[in-house]
Structures are given as C-alpha cells and as structure tokens.
Amino acid sequence: MSGATIAKPGFDKQGTLSDEARVDAAMHSFVHEFGRTASLHMESCVRCGRCADACHFHIATGEAKYTPIFKLEPFSRAYSREAGPFAPLVRGLGLVKKLTVEELEQWQELIYDSCNMCGRCTLICPMGIDIAELVKEARHGMFKAGLMPERLALMDRAAQQWGSTATPGEDLPDILKEAAEAHGVSIPCDLAQADMLVTAAPAELGEHSTALAAAAKILNRVGVKWTMHQEGFDASNIGFNNGDQALQERLTRSIIDTAVKIGAKTVLLPECGHAYGAARWEAAKWYGKELPVRIIHMTEFLDEVIADGRIRVNKIGESATFHDPCQIVRRGGLEAAARRVVAALGFELTELQDSGLTGFCCGGGGGVVSNQRATPLRHKVFAMKREQIEATGAQHLVTSCGQCRITLEQGARHAKWDKPVESLLELVADNMAD
C-alpha cells in the first residue's frame, strides 16, 4: 500500500493496480464475505428507511446518500451478481451491472467518511440486519482494492512497519519512563512475568499520557502485578477500522501472545472503543478456539475494583451527563458498568436525550476522526451532540473512550465551546480515597 495519488477530490487511491484490477479485487473480497449470515442480511432488507432515522450523518445533513442501507448499495449489487440465489440469471440477463472503479471511488466517502460503524442503524433495523458489520466487511474489499482515505492508509503502513500507529515497540520503554517521571508514578515495562498485561491507545503514548498515568496509579494502588510490553502494547487496532484483516489479526495476536509469554491471565484494554471490538469480541476467530487469557475493558476493571472494595473513591457530589461510546456500550454491552462507576463517584447523573444503547456516536469512530477530509461532517454531528449535552444542564461531561474524548474536544474547539470532556478513568484516579 504505497504511492498514493488523488483520484479526484475526496477520493484516494493506493498502489499501482489498474482500474479493472481494483474492481476485481473488491469484488473477490465482497463475494468472499457472503457467508450464511451476510447473505441472509442482504436478502432481508425491506427498504423501510428506518435506518435513515438512526444515522447521525443522515440526520445532521438531510442528504439521502447518507442513508445506511444506501451505503451498502455496491455490496448489494455484488451479492446479486455473484452470490445471490439468482446470480447466474442476473448476470446473464444483465439485470445488475458490474461495478465500476468510479462507483467504488464514490462509495469510499460513504463507508469511510460518513460511517462510524456505530451500530445505531443495526439496533433500529426491524429485520435485525447488522448494517454496521456489513459496512466493516465492505471495507475489507475497499482495502484490497487500494481505495481508502490516504490518512488511514498512512496509519496502516505505520502499523505494518512498527506494530503500532504510535511508535515502534523498541521506543516504548523510553516513552513510559518519560511519562512516569512527568506524572510521578511507576509504570513497569517488559517484565518477564506479570499477572496482567496492560495496553494503550496511541494518544496515551503522546499528548494524553495523563490517562496512562491514571491507569498506573490505580493499578499500583490495587496491588496487581502488571506490566506493559513492547511486543504487544497498542490495542487500538487500525486494521479493524481500515478493513486490513491481516493487520488486524497480527496486532491482536501480538497482544495475546505477549500475555501468554509473560504468564498474564488478563489483558487490560485502554479507554478505546475499537480496541474493545477488535480484541474482546473478534480475537477468538483468529485463534479458532477459546482464548487463553481474559480480555477486559478499563470500564469493566474500574467497576470490579470499586465493587469489591479494592479501591474507594471520594464523592464529587455534582451533576454529570455521560456520553456512551458506541463500541463499548451499544456494541459491547458496558452500559450498566459505566453508570455504576459514575454513581460511585457521587455524580447526580442526568442522561442525554439519546443515551445508553440508543446514544448517538461522537462522530469520530471507525477511523473518521483520523480522516481529515471528513472534518466538516464531524462538525455537523457534533452540533447535534452539543445540543443534547447542553439540554441536560450538567456540570460535567464524562466518557469512557479516549477517541470519543478527542473527537468531542475537536468539535468543541471548532465551535468555541468551553465544556471540558472528562475521562471516567482519570476521574477515578484523581478521586481515590486514602
């Protein structure tokens, strides 16, 4: 994936494949994805339009092209021509035309720029179609065709080379040493044996190292033997977002294999939504058997150590509202866990108009926050989110995903809105009782 050129404004290409080869690569991948479940979903759509009412990009813009099911149109055509029950007849009579590279280029915006794979459309679909999962499968084909946003392709190449989008593993000990000294906390690295392998999101190894220090502070208080390790530390998994399955498997395996190597029974994921999707829910398919370690999100960990009394927290006693990260709550099931931690901190919780399983995405998930050309769309979505937040009148805005936090902070800066976005993890670390 190199030698990027601009196909037309807003559409990027990687590699040197001919247009015909790009279409063939995408089609081959699409057809490969049409297993029993995907095929059932493709056959089930009744074109009711309810998914349009669920999508924040469609609501914020009013543009029909952002209707979730329309984002799957090329995928649907590939199914009809190549894998559906009447595929030979469809091809023979020319009922569905073969995709063109120009159509794939136009589609790039719809599944990378204006879809977070948040799953709100999936939740509302009366036929139970997992539209978010189908978009993710469609991205596999776009990656194979070399038709993805160049910003995401650049991150993909970095992860292929380094094993992380943040830094080469060999630099991790120095980064952690600097963070430990800056925040006055011990952060163990490369221990030969530990009970817990702790991972990070790229931002935590840079400008958001406060989150890393907060995790260390809590872990050290709990007394668990833990470590970070240069052979497996970045849990964000850009391959999951991009459609690069080989990279997704490699990054996931590096974390689990490292945990096994050091005898860790638990892998602790950072405040990162897509890390949860990639490692907690998809890791087992790469192993083909039960995972040898327990994989938990930071929210689960905080909920457990507070519930069993390993740490106590002071009561803040002010009002708060909570932004539900899609991959952690709607797709991951941690709605109640986050609220138990919020309650333990003594917040009076005022829910957003759309919260919990039905909460709106921050607008940056699925790699969209890293895709600069999607910035205007993100800002329109942020305006919706801001309106709901302000309506609560809450003193604090809290979330449990670093990526959501970054997206909301970017939106706030653009809108000149002075509402801070607070990390659930950092709030717990800052309010631990002696």
Across the beta sheet with 266-269, what order do the strands follow? Answer: 226-227, 196-198, 266-269, 294-297
Residues 170-174, mean pLDDT to the nearest whole number: 96
Would the pLDDT of 162 be above 50?
yes
Between the CA atoms of 320, 326, 328 and 333, what dihedral angle is there, to the nearest 10 degrees? Answer: 100
Read off the pLDDT of residues 233-245 as tens digits, 9 standing for 90 and up.
999 999 999 999 9
Higher pLDDT, 1 or 225: 225
Tokens 């790009």, located at residue: 22
This prediction's pTM: 0.92
CA distance 382 to 411: 6
| Alpha carbon distance 319, 188 (integer Å) | 36
Mean pLDDT of 358-372: 95
Task: Decide the pairing of beta strands 5-8 and 11-13.
Answer: antiparallel
Task: Express as a percent the part of the chain with pLDDT over 90.
Answer: 79
- Domain ranges across the chain: 5-148, 163-304, 310-430
Q: Does the pLDDT of residue 152 top 90, yes or no?
A: yes
C-alpha distances in angstroms, 159 versus 4, 90, 164? 17, 41, 4
Say if CB 243 and CB 251 are below 8 A apart.
no
- For 189, residues 6+ apart whose C-beta sits below 8 A from its C-beta are 172, 173, 176, 177, 227, 228, 229, 230
- Select the CATH number that applies to the domain covering 310-430 from these four: 1.10.8, 3.40.50, 3.90.550, 1.10.10: 3.40.50
| Cross-strand bridge partners of residue 335 | none
Please give the CATH topology (third level) of the domain spanning 163-304: Rossmann fold (3.40.50)
**Number of CB atoms found within 10 A of residue 219's CB:** 23
Q: With contact defined as beta carbons under 8 Å apart, do 151 and 371 qualify?
A: yes
Partnered with residue 189 across adjacent β-strands are 228
Q: Is the pLDDT of residue 266 over 50?
A: yes
Contact call for residues 105 and 147 (beta carbons, < 8 A): yes
Mean per-residue pLDDT, 281-308: 92
Q: Which residues contact 399 (CB under 8 A, 6 or more apart)?
A: 322, 323, 324, 325, 362, 405, 408, 421, 422, 423, 424
Q: State the fold for domain 5-148.
A: Fumarate Reductase Iron-sulfur Protein; Chain B, domain 2 (1.10.1060)
* Fold agreement (163-304, 310-430): yes
Over the stretch 40-56, which tens digit does the pLDDT of each residue have? 887 888 888 899 999 99
Q: If DSSP codes are grouped into helix, strand and coil, which group holds residue 286?
A: helix
Report the mean per-residue pLDDT for the chain: 92
Cβ 33 vs Cβ 166: under 8 Å? no
Angle (deg, nearest 10), helices 402-415 and 375-392: 90
Which two three-digit tokens encode residue 326? 């899609």
* Interval 20-35: pLDDT, tens: 999 999 988 988 887 7
CA-to-CA distance for 353 and 411, rounded, in angstroms? 19
Residue 84 neighbours by CB under 8 Å, 6+ apart:
39, 42, 43, 90
For 425, which DSSP code?
A: H
The pLDDT of residue 396 is 98
Q: How far apart are CA 21 and CA 14, in angstroms?
A: 13
pLDDT, tens only, 207-216: 899 999 999 9
Average pLDDT over residues 110-124: 95
Per the document, the length of the chain is: 434
